[in-house]
Chains A and B, each alone.
Chain A
Amino acid sequence: MIEIENVRKSFGALEVLKGINLTVAKGEVLTVIGGSGSGKSTLLTCINGLEPIDSGRILVDGVEVHAKSTDLNKLRQKIGIVFQQWNAFPHLTVLENVMLAQVKVLKRSKAEAEAEAAKQLNHVGLGEKMSVYPSRLSGGQQQRMAIARALAMSPDYMLFDEVTSALDPQLVGEVLDTLRMLASEGMTMICVTHEMKFAREVSDRVAFFHKGVMAEIAPPEQLFGAPKDPELQKFLAATH
């Protein structure tokens, strides 16, 4: 379970998170929508401790992320994150990309890591591309590789930060299909996205962020069908 309690966060004078309260249960798929600058991506990087927070707290399975005593490297093994920019390691093959952290962080043997990497790569449909370097892959393939790389760490939670935003339109579908597959398998996921159709289909709940505040959270039918917040109404009208 991920519990977010009254989290505030500023970059300089700009307050990007103004007291967020949110709980995500095991097995839940939560999507977060909102305009740019609404704080939704920042929230994700705070959850796995890549960004510090100013006040409040975030608990992952009861462990406080930003407590001094918390071993972040250990915690991050449970929380996979995939970014808008896929960040393939260019000097490693696709297979090695997925193996690296398993060997170095989880201390798996090469053989174990390779078996797991192959499994995950097949899972995301890159079984054929294991021995090539990332520069030979399309953006969509690189993004799927990044997903496999995160999954290979056997995380309990997956965070997706606008994973399709940097892709050419014709490549968006393959990545969303991968996310749909994960959702159907019961993975606990938080997806920050601009893809409304996707949000409507896969989510258990959808949260709408506006200017650092979570303005509304509801199951998709309700949020998209009968939005209450006036800003959300404007937002949906503009995106449809």
Chain B
Amino acid sequence: MFNYNFRWNQALNSLPQMLEGALVTMEIAILSMVIGISVAILLTLFRLSGNRLLYAIATTWVEIARNTPALFQIYMVHFGLGGFGIHLSPYLSLLIGIAFNNAGYLAENFRGALKAIPETQTRAARSLGMTPIQAFQNVILPQMLRISFLPMTNQMVWAILMTSLGAVVAMNTDLYGVTSDLNARTFRTFELFAIAAVIFYVITKVITLSARLLAARLFRY
């Protein structure tokens, strides 16, 4: 049917290396989410603070993250900071770039989630003697994270997909980087990337599924 000899065996021999790459991919995605969620909470507080400077910082962050390509953001971290004499490793550039993107998108989701929580919740908490911070931490934050759970899951999937963008900063230990390196040596492009695609697909499904299980356990109300 094709004038092309598929050599799946040869490509499959590289599976262990690719799976190791997949672990790095997951590690970066998870770390970028942990950082992203923490920063997004901080940005949300900045926007609630009523302080103009903090509000401007948060808004600028969110708008840049949402209105420029993720690839550009990773590029900026690696080569842009390089212009300031700050040279980060490919791993760090990729991680920070994705975390930057995550934080921007999540902060916007959190903003939407806050709108769904009645003002009176804060009022009730304050009337019990809680400080604004206590009210946010104990009453608003848990509800906000619950409402944002699905968007957070989607962002996690995005984070996995975004790790492939490490290619532009010569990242070579993640799944895409490993595959790309193997390809440079063997030229079995189709077979190698097809296997990588399957691994990516499985990872994203596992994440979506575990998120659903986690949600069922976490949110019983």
* A interface list, Cβ under 8 A from B: 48, 50, 73-74, 76-77, 80-81, 83, 85, 87, 89-91, 100-101, 104-106, 133-135, 146, 149-150, 153
Contact = CB atoms under 8 A, between A and B. Distances in A.
A76 B128 CA distance: 6
B118 A104 contact: no
Contact of A87 (B121, B129, B219): B121
Nearest to B219: A91
B129 A105 contact: yes
B121 A104 contact: no
A203 B129 CA distance: 27
Most chain-A CB neighbours within 10 Å: which of B120, B134, B138, B220? B138
B14 interface: no
A135 B120 contact: no
A17 to B, nearest CB: 19
A146 B127 CA distance: 11
Given A91-B221, A101-B128, A101-B129, 17 more contacts: A76-B129, A83-B120, A83-B123, A87-B118, A87-B120, A87-B123, A89-B124, A89-B125, A89-B139, A89-B143, A100-B128, A105-B128, A134-B221, A135-B221, A146-B124, A150-B127, A150-B128
Contacts of A80: 127
Given A83-B120, A89-B121, A91-B143, A50 B221 contact: no
Contacts of B125: 89, 101
Nearest to A86: B124
Interface of B: 118, 120-121, 123-131, 134, 138-139, 142-143, 146, 219-221
Contacts of B123: 50, 83, 87
A155 to B, nearest CB: 9
A85 B138 contact: no
B143 A90 contact: yes
A50 B130 CA distance: 12
Given A83-B120, A89-B121, A91-B146, A50 B126 contact: yes
- Nearest 8 CB-CB pairings of A with B: A87-B124, A133-B221, A101-B128, A76-B129, A105-B129, A77-B129, A91-B142, A81-B127
Contacts of A83: 120, 123-124, 127
8 contacts: A50-B127, A76-B129, A89-B143, A91-B142, A101-B125, A105-B128, A105-B134, A150-B128
A198 B126 CA distance: 29
A100 B220 CA distance: 18
A134 B138 CA distance: 16
Nearest to B123: A50
Contacts of A105: 128-130, 134
Nearest to B124: A87
Contacts of A150: 127-128
A135 B221 CA distance: 7
Contacts of A149: 128
Given A91-B142, A104-B138, A76 B127 contact: yes
B130 A90 contact: no
Contacts of A81: 127
A101 B124 CA distance: 11
A100 B140 CA distance: 13
Contacts of A104: 130, 134, 138
Given A50-B123, A83-B124, A87-B121, A133 B138 contact: no
A74 B124 contact: no
Nearest to B143: A91
A90 B129 contact: no
B44 to A, nearest CB: 17
Contacts of B219: 91
Contacts of A106: 129
Most buried by A among B127, B130, B221: B127
A60 to B, nearest CB: 13
Nearest to A91: B142
Contacts of B124: 83, 87, 89, 146
Contacts of B129: 73-74, 76-77, 101, 105-106, 153
Nearest to A48: B127
Nearest to A85: B120
Contacts of B128: 76, 100-101, 105, 149-150, 153
